[in-house]
Amino acid sequence: MTSAHTAEKKVTNRWVFVLYIGFFAGLIWGAIKIIENYFKFTTIGIGFMAEPFFKHDFFNTWLGLFTGWACFTIFSIFASCLYMFTMWKLRSPMWGLGYGAFWWAILYLLVGPMTGMFYWINQLELNTIISDFCLFLVWGMFVGYSIAIEYTNVRTIQAIPKS
């Protein structure tokens, strides 16, 4: 394959790509969150984002589990779009780790306790804090680095001169 053929490669629409990344971030890391809760690494289930809108017992059903998973996926799509809008040119995986830590802090230190999603951090178990923090770190790295790599790839393709 010559460089002329490479230059003809179709460039990905970055907004469609970010929706794709957000969807799979929610799907994959939401599944990990479910497993994390199942094995009692955390006391906060996947439905924590929908907790203010439903009774807590609802999340002990299959429908509640999938509702919580859907809410986490929608959140991931929103967060991916926000990352694309604000930080899409940053290439290091450290930015993604920071983005995950940022969302963990917003959810676990501010929004979560204020809305009744879960207790204040001083009332949570240490396993819950550490497990969920690590989950958000790898979730953020998945979102951030995936978007950064696609941006770098698109920029490289566009820089190749056509013959």
Measured CA to CA in angstroms, residue 151 lies from 9, 78, 84, 91, 116 at distances of 15, 18, 9, 9, 38
- Residue 15's pLDDT is 85
* CA distance linking residue 144 with residue 79, whole number of Å: 10
- Residue 64's pLDDT is 93
- Which residue reads 């770098």 in tokens? 152
Per-residue pLDDT of the chain (163 residues; tens, 9 = 90+): 455 555 555 677 888 999 999 999 999 999 999 999 999 999 999 999 998 888 888 988 999 999 999 999 999 999 999 999 999 878 788 999 999 999 999 999 999 999 988 899 999 999 999 999 999 999 999 999 998 887 766 555 555 555 5
- Residue 52's pLDDT is 84
- Residue 118's pLDDT is 87
* CA distance linking residue 50 with residue 69, whole number of Å: 9
Domain-wise residue ranges, the chain? 3-159
Count Cβ atoms below 10 Å from residue 1 Cβ, excluding itself.
6
- Residue 156's pLDDT is 52
Q: Helix or strand or coil: residue 11?
A: coil
88 class by beta-carbon count within 10 Å (0-12 exposed, 13-18 middle, 19+ buried):
middle
- Residue 131's pLDDT is 97
Measured CA to CA in angstroms, residue 37 lies from 78, 134, 144 at distances of 23, 14, 25
